[in-house]
Amino acid sequence: MYKENSLAQNRPDPGPMLAPGPSAACLAALLGALLCLPLPAAADAADSLENEPARLHLRGFGTLGLTRSSADGADFVRDLSQPRGTSGGNWSSRVDSVLGLQANWQATDQLEAVVQGVTRYRYDQTYQPELTWAYLKYDPTPSLSLRAGRLGTNFFMLADSRLVGYSYLAVRPSVDYFTSLPFSHVDGVDGSFTFPLGPGLGKVQAFSGRMHGSLALGDQQWQMGGSSMYGGHLDYLQGPWTLRAGYAHLRFGQNLPIDPVVNGLRASGVPSAAAAADALGTQDKDSEFYSLGALYESGPLQAQLMLNRIRQQSAAFQDSRAGTLLAGYRIGQFTPYAGYSWQKSTPKSLTTGLPPGLLNAAVNSILADSRSHQHTVTLGLRWDFRTNMDLKLQYDAVRGSSDSIFPTRRDTPGWNGRTDVISIVTDFIF
């Protein structure tokens, strides 16, 4: 969507720039400064550079945003890579604010090097910049492309540009749909092949690599080092349509940081408790991701429909299903849009064979942590007020059950699964 920018076509994967809690006045000042930038002159300069034979190109993207969630009891977050978000009617810039830079060096007609770095609010509650893309791309023929290095995870449609706000119609990708995909890149290789298929084009891509970094789990972090991943997708492109079927297989390299519970189960000496401890393990356990997607863009109308199903081998995670539908119609500089998304998981149970007590309560708490059962209605307006800049206002009505805590952070017994979220952001590319 909004593919007129070259950055979206390159499909990078970014991160933020604002301090954890700048005041609304500070953010308003930054927004005002951006509105006053001499963008036409900058755009002319960029055009003149691209007309020269230089093979090194620098690009950037960013989002400045404020987000407010009305409910107490749980933080609304963009995805599960964020340990905190917004709740209680407080405005926060940490949810959607991002800044990214990308360098492309065209060494030869067939060989290209790409490096991308981003800063955003991350799992360790800092804004430390991270390297999200760093790969060599070799195109031996126009239909075959090979890459090696740090790559984006794009087996879900639109997944590898999730943080390039300008490339998205809405403020952010669907939280319901992307909750279970908090990791954005792998270190490995991939290859894609494009070929004629009926009246359109087919494209098949496969990848393999290893994960790194950490995910936030409350006040702790789950190390992803040693986890491996492989998969791919098949695309079909014809006219205004793009269709995708994707699959990915993830094998975790380390267990969740729940050692006190697991050790307690094993120390009990009860065989069924030891079996429960093994079932809660994630090391050498698999997750499988299945997805279908369709994009339509013709004239002022654009729409997307995506579905996914995730199967978890470990009892610590519930199997889940999710979907999202979003459509917008452009009228001059303005694009009103509306969407509906949902996610639902299937509860799991374990029998420890132990008498009621704290250990059983801890096991039940772990089983409940990955519960999701909610839907979201989205209404928004996008205003493309300048070249390569937009302003978006969005309202999300999240309606779920009180046990739907997986998509949130810092949930408490007061959480009822319902919140109203208001977001205002400006996106830019340069």
Place of tokens 């005041």: 23
Distance, in Å, from the CA atom of 233 to the CA atom of 245, rounded to the nearest integer, reads 5
pLDDT exceeds 90 at position 19 = no
From the list 313, 308, 379, the residue with the least C-alpha distance to 344 is: 308
Nearest to 167 by CA among 369, 427, 347: 427
Judge whether 174 and 191 are in contact, CB under 8 Å.
no
Q: Looking at 49-94, which runs of residues are DSSP E strands?
A: 56-69, 75-76, 91-92
φ/ψ of 180, rounded to 5, equals -85, 10
Write the CA distances from 408 to 19, 237, 311, 369, 384, integer angstroms.
21, 36, 20, 10, 31
Distance between CA atoms of residues 395 and 424, nearest Å: 9
Q: Is the pTM for the entire model greater than 0.75?
A: yes
With H, G, I as helix, E, B as strand and everything else as coil, classify residue 47: helix
Question: Following DSSP, what letter does each residue of 234-283 receive, concatenated?
Answer: EEEEETTEEEEEEEEEEE-SS--S-HHHHHHHHHT--HHHHHHHHHH--T
Asked if residues 20 and 125 have their Cβ atoms less than 8 Å apart, the reply is yes
Q: At what angle do helices 271-280 and 358-368 cross, to 10 degrees?
A: 30
**Cβ–Cβ < 8 Å for 160, 183:** no
- pLDDT beyond 70 at 136: yes
Distance of CA 218 to the CA centre of its chain: 19
Residues 357-378: what's their mean pLDDT? 92
Considering only the C-alpha atoms of the chain, give the largest distance between any 2 of them, rounded to a whole number of Å: 76
| Domains with residue ranges and CATH for the chain | 6-429 (2.40.160.10)
- CB–CB of 422/392 below 8 Å? no
Contacts of 29 (CB under 8 A, 6+ apart): none
133 in Cβ contact with 125 (< 8 Å): no
pLDDT at 27 exceeding the cut of 50: no
CB 425 within 8 A of CB 171: yes
**Total Cβ atoms within 10 A of residue 111:** 13
For residue 393, give the nearest of 88, 176, 177, 169 by alpha carbon.
169
C-beta neighbour count of 83 within 10 angstroms: 22
Instruction: Please state, in angstroms and rounded to a whole number, the distance separating the CA atoms of residues 69 and 84.
Output: 12
Instruction: Band the pLDDT of 185: cuts 50, 70, 90.
Output: confident
Q: What is the pLDDT of residue 54?
A: 57
pLDDT tens sequence across 256-308: 999 899 999 999 889 999 999 999 999 999 999 999 999 999 999 999 999 99
Q: What is the pLDDT of residues 188-216, one digit of tens each?
A: 999 999 999 999 999 999 999 999 878 87
Nearest one of 10, 9, 1, 5 to 298, comparing CA atoms = 1
Q: Stretch 344-364: mean pLDDT, rounded?
A: 90
Read off the pLDDT of each residue in 387-394 and give the average, rounded to a whole number. Answer: 97
How far apart, in whole angstroms, are the C-alpha atoms of residue 364 and residue 351? 10
pLDDT at 413 over 90: no
Residues forming a β-bridge with 195: 202
Query: How far is 224 from 269, CA to CA, in rounded Å?
Result: 30
Measured distance CA(243)–CA(254) in Å, rounded: 35
